[in-house]
Amino acid sequence: MLKNTQQLLAIMARLRHPEDGCAWDVRQDFTSLIPYVIEEAYEVVDAIERGDLDDLRSELGDLLLQVVFHAQIAEERGLFTFEQVSEGICDKLIRRHPHVFADAVFNSDEERQQAWEQAKAAERLEKGATPVQQSVLSGVAGSLPALMECEKIQDRAAQHGFDWPDVEPVFAKVQEELDEIREALASGDQAHIQEEVGDLLLVAVNLARHLNVNAEIALKQSTKKFSRRFNYIEQQVEASGRSLKECELVELDAFWNEAKVVLKNAG
């Protein structure tokens, strides 16, 4: 395994060689690689969701390449090396798991999570974060997908007591936000409408949390379900020799309801 890692590092260094390397690889920097890091992470997720383990192995390799790529750029600039990246995550894992690598004992998942958050807070202080930065919400990356960021921020707030005790008040809050969207719509103020829709989405994420549902995954699954049903509609319309725009909405809606039955029975 170590041999393969060293080979990967050597290949990346060769690709980045200013004279003998690949012109495209040489042009890249931290910022230009951002879309590729995100894309490769999502392709890993896609392989997992499809249950394609061969593809998962391949996609994990692509994601590892991004780590090596960034480490190579950093080493060229005298910032850090791949070895230091590896050392850092090893130290972090040991530090954040005192119940495995030391003699700490946690009697519940809540105690373990609290210790984890305390360790992260201590790490931020070691990095020189100022008191202003030390909000309990510090450390949640703003570049996360919106639903994921929202869930993580709400989890942080909940860990410090800012949360409803059970799900019932959340249902009421969802209805309240719906009513406020209707009021905003009546006002014709588009900025206000957008604000209220955002509030509804935030509460929907909170509802998902209280129901132990991952909002990001749930929406992804529902979007895929929508696509499958819409594809069924397209197939039925095509079979009739027409285009979607030539069909009345009531007919398309009937195909939609048909798709719900057919696709459910098809598994």
Q: Would you say residue 113 lies in a domain?
A: no
Domain boundary among 189, 213, 237: 213
Confidence check: pLDDT of 29 > 60? yes
Predicted confidence (pLDDT) per residue in 179-205, tens digit: 999 999 999 999 999 999 999 999 999
The CA–CA distances, whole Å, from 68 to 15, 85, 88, 250 equal: 12, 10, 15, 54
Residues 147 and 225 both lie in one domain: no
Residues 23 and 75 both lie in one domain: yes
Give me the pLDDT at residue 209, please: 95
Q: Residue 52's domain is classified under what CATH number? A: 1.10.287.1080
Residue 130: pLDDT band with limits 50, 70, 90:
low
Confidence check: pLDDT of 127 > 90? no
Percent of the chain beyond pLDDT 90? Answer: 72
- How many domains in the chain? 3
Domain boundary among 213, 232, 255: 213
What is the rounded distance in angstroms from the CA atom of residue 117 to the CA atom of residue 187?
A: 43
Residues 9 and 64 both lie in one domain: yes
Residues 9 and 90 both lie in one domain: yes
The CA–CA distances, whole Å, from 77 to 8, 25, 29, 121 equal: 19, 15, 11, 29
Q: Do residues 224 and 218 touch, judged by C-beta distance below 8 A?
A: no
Q: Would you say residue 44 lies in a domain?
A: yes
Structural domain that includes position 8: 2-96
Residues 38 and 55 both lie in one domain: yes
Residues 153 and 70 both lie in one domain: no
Q: Would you say residue 122 lies in a domain?
A: no
Q: Mean of the pLDDT values across residues 19-40?
A: 94
pTM of the model: 0.66
Tokens of 166: 């059970």
Q: Comparing 104 with 29, which gets the higher pLDDT?
A: 29
Q: Would you say residue 91 lies in a domain?
A: yes
Q: Would you say residue 246 lies in a domain?
A: yes
Give me the pLDDT at residue 107, please: 86
Q: Would you say residue 82 lies in a domain?
A: yes
Residues 9 and 44 both lie in one domain: yes
Q: Would you say residue 127 lies in a domain?
A: no
DSSP labels for 9-66? HHHHHHHT-TTTS-HHHHH--TTTTHHHHHHHHHHHHHHHHHT-HHHHHHHHHHHHHH
Confidence check: pLDDT of 261 > 70? yes
**Which of 139, 15, 3, 32 lies closest to 68 in space, CA to CA?**
15
Residues 83 and 14 both lie in one domain: yes
Confidence check: pLDDT of 131 > 70? no
Q: 39-68: b or e for each residue (b if 16 or more CB lie within 10 Å)?
A: ebeebbeebeeeeeeeebeebeeebebbbb
Predicted confidence (pLDDT) per residue in 33-50, tens digit: 998 998 999 899 999 988
Q: Would you say residue 201 lies in a domain?
A: yes
Predicted confidence (pLDDT) per residue in 200-255, tens digit: 999 999 999 999 999 988 998 999 999 999 999 999 999 999 999 999 999 999 99
| Distance in angstroms between the alpha carbons of the first and the last residue of the chain | 41
Residues 208 and 176 both lie in one domain: yes
Predicted confidence (pLDDT) per residue in 151-187, tens digit: 999 998 998 889 999 999 999 999 999 999 999 999 9
Residues 207 and 250 both lie in one domain: no
Q: Comparing 121 with 47, which gets the higher pLDDT?
A: 47
Domain boundary among 35, 62, 96: 96
Give me the pLDDT at residue 132, please: 52
Residues 175 and 247 both lie in one domain: no
Residues 145 and 64 both lie in one domain: no
Predicted confidence (pLDDT) per residue in 63-120, tens digit: 999 999 999 999 999 999 999 999 999 999 999 999 999 888 888 888 888 887 778 7
